[in-house]
């Protein structure tokens, strides 16, 4: 049988960059992607639905999931746990579907360690592009302002290291269309296609 394992896509980036908005817009459009619904211990917000936005868990339940190694990754963010259910991701990929995670940066680093074949997309704040302009037009901005922003920017740029792609979130529709292109390109990668066809030939011969 031809090996048609799905691809795991991970969207992450600094807090406040708009990951949730971009992910929702991506899924509002026609897509074959499967979104992995996370577990969290944070309170449900008005308008959210258990089992659609998150699986809402108590601290005890979440810690049991950690002990039982049922999470592909997890992190504590603003005093609440967030984590990705391992079984859903593994089964969905094995069934040939692409899986999409939208998670904060600590969790993305854990996935990178355990799941190297994933495709890691870093959503980048447009304010850094503005910073670039300020640096280029030096003299028009106060030196102190630029230096402070530079310090913050360095941290965000260093986070990029663990990612395969960087998408600037200047406009949600632009970011979404770039992510769609990344998904398409990944499916056209020679290594993936070659592997599938070699497998097919082997199956034919045996
Ligand atoms: P919110 O509470 O606003 O829904 O999400 C807070 C942060 O948690 C966001 O940055 C979101 O990307 C991140 N997040 C959501 N689900 C997960 C998850 O399963 N694992 C990790 N590590 N972060 C998550």
CA gap 71, 90 in Å, rounded? 11
Strand, helix or coil for residue 68: coil
Cβ–ligand 1 distance for 62 under 6 Å, the answer no
The answer on 201 and 159 residing in a single domain is yes
Nearest alpha carbon to residue 1 among 205, 201, 200, 206: 200
Cβ–ligand 1 distance for 42 under 6 Å, the answer yes
**Count of residues in the chain:** 206
Residue 142 burial (CB < 10 Å; 0-12/13-18/19+)? Answer: exposed
Nearest alpha carbon to residue 5 among 87, 70, 90: 90
CA gap 110, 101 in Å, rounded? 13
Question: What is the best residue among 38, 46, 48 to mutate for testing ligand 1's pocket, by most ligand atoms within 8 Å of CB?
Answer: 38
CA gap 35, 98 in Å, rounded? 9
CA gap 73, 103 in Å, rounded? 10
Choosing from 97, 120, 147, the residue where a domain stops is: 97
Can you give the residue range of the structural domain that contains 114?
Answer: 1-33+98-206
Q: What is the pLDDT of residue 134?
A: 66
- Which CATH number covers residue 3? 3.40.50.300
Q: What is the pLDDT of residue 129?
A: 72
Ligand 1 atom closest to the Cα of residue 12 is: 12
CA gap 74, 81 in Å, rounded? 7
The answer on 127 and 92 residing in a single domain is no
pLDDT at 206 over 60: yes
Per-residue pLDDT band for 83 (boundaries 50, 70, 90) equals: very high
Cβ–ligand 1 distance for 77 under 6 Å, the answer yes
pLDDT at 111 over 90: yes
Quote the pTM value.
Answer: 0.90
Q: Considering its fold, how many domains does the chain have in total?
A: 2
Going by alpha carbons, the residue nearest to atom 17 of ligand 1 is 103
pLDDT at 1 over 60: no
Going by alpha carbons, the residue nearest to atom 12 of ligand 1 is 103
Instruction: Tell me what the pLDDT averaged over the chain comes to.
Output: 90
pLDDT at 131 over 80: no
Residue 22 burial (CB < 10 Å; 0-12/13-18/19+)? Answer: buried
The answer on 186 and 121 residing in a single domain is yes
The answer on 196 and 127 residing in a single domain is yes
Per-residue pLDDT band for 30 (boundaries 50, 70, 90) equals: confident
Average pLDDT over residues 81-92: 98
Segment holding 204, helix H or strand E:
helix 190-205
Q: What is the pLDDT of residue 186?
A: 95
The answer on 189 and 129 residing in a single domain is yes
Q: What is the pLDDT of residue 141?
A: 62
The answer on 102 and 153 residing in a single domain is yes
Residue 51 burial (CB < 10 Å; 0-12/13-18/19+)? Answer: exposed
Going by alpha carbons, the residue nearest to atom 11 of ligand 1 is 103
Centre of ligand 1 from the C-alpha of residue 81, in Å? 9
Average pLDDT over residues 2-29: 91
The answer on 114 and 206 residing in a single domain is yes
Contact between 81 and 41 under an 8 Å Cβ cutoff? The reply is yes
């Amino acid at each position: 049988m031809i090996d048609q394992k799905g691809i795991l896509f991970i969207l992450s980036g600094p807090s406040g960059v708009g990951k949730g908005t971009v992910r929702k817009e991506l899924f509002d459009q026609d897509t074959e992607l499967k979104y992995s619904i996370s577990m969290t211990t944070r309170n449900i917000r008005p308008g959210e639905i258990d089992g659609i936005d998150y699986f809402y868990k108590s601290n005890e339940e979440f810690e049991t999931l950690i002990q039982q190694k049922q999470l592909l990754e997890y992190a504590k963010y603003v005093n609440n746990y967030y984590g990705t259910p391992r079984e859903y991701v593994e089964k969905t990929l094995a069934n040939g579907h692409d899986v999409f995670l939208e998670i904060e940066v600590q969790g993305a680093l854990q996935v990178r360690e355990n799941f190297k074949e994933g495709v890691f997309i870093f959503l980048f704040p447009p304010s850094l592009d503005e910073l670039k302009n300020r640096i280029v037009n030096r003299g028009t901005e106060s030196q102190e302002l630029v230096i402070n922003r530079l310090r913050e920017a360095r941290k965000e740029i260093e986070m990029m290291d663990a990612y395969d792609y960087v998408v600037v979130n200047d406009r949600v529709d632009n970011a979404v269309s770039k992510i769609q292109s990344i998904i398409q390109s990944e499916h056209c990668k020679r290594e993936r296609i070659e592997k599938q066809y070699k497998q097919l030939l082997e199956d034919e011969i045996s």
